[in-house]
Amino acid sequence: MGTTAKEEMAHFWEKNTKSNRPLSPHVTIYKWSLPMAMSITHRGTGVALSLGVSLFGLAALLLPEQFPHYLAMVKSLSLGPALIYSAKFALAFPLSYHTWNGVRHLV
């Protein structure tokens, strides 16, 4: 009579535990390279853009006031130029990196 899937799985993990092999693929095996880092950054910026656009759209639907009201509220906070430029960079970097890395990949 054959074994069940649960028994097969237990046998597999028991064999792996005894052999002390690392899980494959394991992150610590690979040497970090520029293409790997660029791929991870591309995926991260894609997720960030997706979340940002989704949250902005949800806010536009649910918040009671129009955009100029919230823009005036941010201006009234009198934030310093360093914080404003940092926020602008945080918004522009994912878009520009994701776009140009996508173009690079297509070329």
List, as residue ranges, the binding site for heme: 98
Contacts of 25 (CB under 8 A, 6+ apart): none
CB 97 within 8 A of CB 41: yes
DSSP per-residue letters across 9-65: HHHHHHHHHHHTPPPSS-GGGSPP-HHHHHHHHHHHHHHHHHHHHHHHHHHHHH-SS
Q: Enumerate the known binding-site residues.
A: 98
Burial of 27 (0-12, 13-18, 19+ CB in 10 A): exposed
